[in-house]
Structure formats: structure tokens, C-alpha cells
Amino acid sequence: MSQLVTGEAVALDLRPAALPSRLLAGLIDVLVQFLVLLVLGSLATAVSLDLSEAAVSALSLVVVVLVLIVYPVTFETLLRGRTPGKAAMGLRVIRDDGGPIGFRQALVRGLAGAFLERPGVTLFTAAVVSSLLNDQGKRVGDLLAGTVVLRERVSVRGGPVAGMPPPLAGWAAGLDLSGFPDGLALAVRQFVARADQLTDSAREELGGRLVRAVTEVVGQPPAGAPGWAVLSAVLAERRRRETERLGEGSYVRSAPGGSEPGQPQPGGPQPVGSQPGGAQPGGAAGGPPSPAPPPAAPVAPTRENPPAVGPGGFAAPF
């Protein structure tokens, strides 16, 4: 990672492109340029049959300039810092202040690459040595133009997703999460994903602080509920409500045609506890419904009741 300061004095953590990825992007561009050179060379040969020797030399120079300079300058200007090779490798050229490059920066990079680096006087040596010695991987053209090449596509590794502990489902459903800050939710989610990478003491200390912070916002959990279960229940309930709010659940808030909120869509799943024809479980059709059983009391995890988070997760009661 490398820190870049924008014109508004905002520090950004960016990932400069590594030398292998830049070499692969350059190889792709060289192949494309070679194809362009073949096409333009064929056209120039057909046109130069009736031209003088001086005109043929001038035409050949124009073709070389088009391939070596116009190609990268045009693509980097129009595609805002990308050539076909950079686009294929997920790279982009930006200014040192974080802004997109313009024609001037692209022209300086193109001229430096044509005359100093790739087929230039140093034959790739200056570009490779400069990239290895610079902490941002800048080649000579980047140093002259004030640019840097960054990786746009960065692989992201997901971590364990907190599930809802069944004993705490009823307690979590009645929580008021309107005041639950996004920063705290992010901290809890990151802790869940990285708990197996922490030492036991660090997991106990950080987990305990997060449990105290969460209970200050949502209230005290049922007696005997372990810390891992509290964090899992709050995260799972928050995710469920966000999913419903975005319309990804089985039910909709307001259906077209005057349907009431909470009613299923035609042909969709029926609400829990209902049967076709209005019959309720345990009672006759049209009669009073049978009373619902009381919710189960929260229980601590045992061998028969393992925690929702698998081995390596934060399964300690903090």
C-alpha cells in the first residue's frame, strides 16, 4: 500500500501496480501494436508503389510514430489513463494528486516510452530499474509526467458470516437498531471475520470491548448469553432488516393493488403458521387460532448445542 495526498489534503491508501502486472500489460499492448503495425504497413506498402524513395521513408516514419506514440497517448487520454493492456490487467494511470491524467501527461509518458524506455536508448533497462527503486513503482515516464500506475481490481477475501443463534432470535427481533452506528457494525463484522487470526488474549480483550459497546446501544441480552452469541445475533438481525428494507426478502412493504404490508405476493410463500382457506394450526377453519407456544429461553452453548460460528471463530463467552 502507498499513501497519496490529494489536492484537498486528503490522504488516500492506494495500491501501486506491481512490476509483473505492468510487464504483462505492456506485453499485451506490444501485441496490439504489432497487429496495428502490420495493418498500417500493408496499407503503406500498397500506397507507396508509385511514390519516390523519400516519400516512402517519410510514410514509414509516420507509421512508426502512429504505432509507438499515438497509440498509447490516444488510449490513455480517451480512456482516462488506460490502454488495452492496462484495462485487461486492471491498471490505471492517475496523477500524483489522485486526479485523472490529461493529454499532457499522456504525451510525456508516450514520448518517454518511445525514446527513452521501451524501444528507446535504454531498451527497457531504465524503466525496470526505475520501477524497482521507486516505492510506487514509477518508471521514467511516470517521474517526468508526475503520474503513478495503480491497481483498480484488488482481490477481496471474505470471512465468516455471523449467523443467528436460535435461542437469541426472539430477543434480537425486538431490538431497536435505529441507533446502532455503522462504524460499530463494521468493527464487529471485521472482528467476526478475523477472530480466528487473533491470539486468545487479544480475542478475549477485543471481543469483550465490542460486547460492552453493543450492549450499551441495544440493551442487555438475556442472562447467560455468551458474548459470541450476542454479537452474532445483533449482526444477523441487522443484516436481515437491511435485506428486507432493500426488497430482497420474501415479503414486500407495500404491494401493488392495495395489498397490505406484510402480505405475501400472489403465488409466493405463505406466512408462517397459515394454511389455505384460513385454517389455523390446531383449530377448526374459521375458529380461534390455537395459542402460540412460548419462546424458548436462551441457553448456553454445549456439545449438543454448538455455537453458530464454526471452529476458529469467536466462540468464547468473553
Mind listing the pLDDT tens digit for each residue in 185-210? Answer: 888 888 877 777 788 888 888 888 99
CA end-to-end span of the chain: 34
Provide Rg for the chain, Cα atoms. 32
- 67 by Cβ neighbours in 10 Å (0-12 / 13-18 / 19+) ranks as buried
Q: Which of 168, 175, 177 is nearest to 295 (CA)?
A: 168
Could you tell me if 39 and 133 lie in one domain? yes
Question: Does 226 fall in a domain?
Answer: yes
Confidence at residue 146, expressed as pLDDT on a 0 to 100 scale: 93
Looking at per-residue confidence, does 242 or 295 come out higher?
Answer: 242
Bridge partner list, 4: 12
Question: Does 175 fall in a domain?
Answer: yes
Could you tell me if 24 and 54 lie in one domain? yes
Confidence at residue 5, expressed as pLDDT on a 0 to 100 scale: 52
Could you tell me if 211 and 314 lie in one domain? yes
Confidence at residue 30, expressed as pLDDT on a 0 to 100 scale: 92
Q: Which of 89, 112, 239, 275 is nearest to 164 (CA)?
A: 239
Confidence at residue 160, expressed as pLDDT on a 0 to 100 scale: 60
* Domain residue limits at 221: 157-248+308-318
In this prediction the pTM is 0.50
Could you tell me if 42 and 89 lie in one domain? yes
Confidence at residue 6, expressed as pLDDT on a 0 to 100 scale: 53
Question: Does 265 fall in a domain?
Answer: no
Could you tell me if 93 and 115 lie in one domain? yes
Confidence at residue 157, expressed as pLDDT on a 0 to 100 scale: 55
Could you tell me if 139 and 6 lie in one domain? yes
Confidence at residue 128, expressed as pLDDT on a 0 to 100 scale: 87
Confidence at residue 293, expressed as pLDDT on a 0 to 100 scale: 46
Read off the C-alpha cell for 6. Answer: 490529494
Q: Is pLDDT of 77 > 90?
A: yes
Could you tell me if 169 and 147 lie in one domain? no
Could you tell me if 141 and 176 lie in one domain? no
Rounded distance, CA 5 to CA 136, Å? 13
Question: Does 61 fall in a domain?
Answer: yes
Looking at per-residue confidence, does 311 or 3 come out higher?
Answer: 3
Could you tell me if 69 and 9 lie in one domain? yes
β pairing state of 2-5 and 91-95: unpaired
Confidence of residue 168 (pLDDT cuts 50, 70, 90): confident
Rounded distance, CA 96 to CA 286, Å? 73
Q: Is pLDDT of 281 > 70?
A: no
Rounded distance, CA 68 to CA 110, Å? 8
Number of domains in the chain: 2
Domain boundary among 116, 133, 151: 151
Question: Does 171 fall in a domain?
Answer: yes
Confidence at residue 111, expressed as pLDDT on a 0 to 100 scale: 93
**Contact assessment for residue 106 and residue 141, using Cβ atoms and an 8 Å cutoff:** no
Confidence of residue 306 (pLDDT cuts 50, 70, 90): very low
Domain boundary among 113, 128, 151: 151
Could you tell me if 51 and 186 lie in one domain? no
Confidence of residue 112 (pLDDT cuts 50, 70, 90): very high
Could you tell me if 14 and 130 lie in one domain? yes
Q: How many CA atoms lie within 13 A of 228 on its CB side?
A: 27
Q: Is 246 helix (H, G, I), strand (E, B) or coil?
A: coil
Could you tell me if 23 and 126 lie in one domain? yes
Domain boundary among 121, 151, 181: 151
Mean pLDDT of the chain: 75
Question: Does 258 fall in a domain?
Answer: no
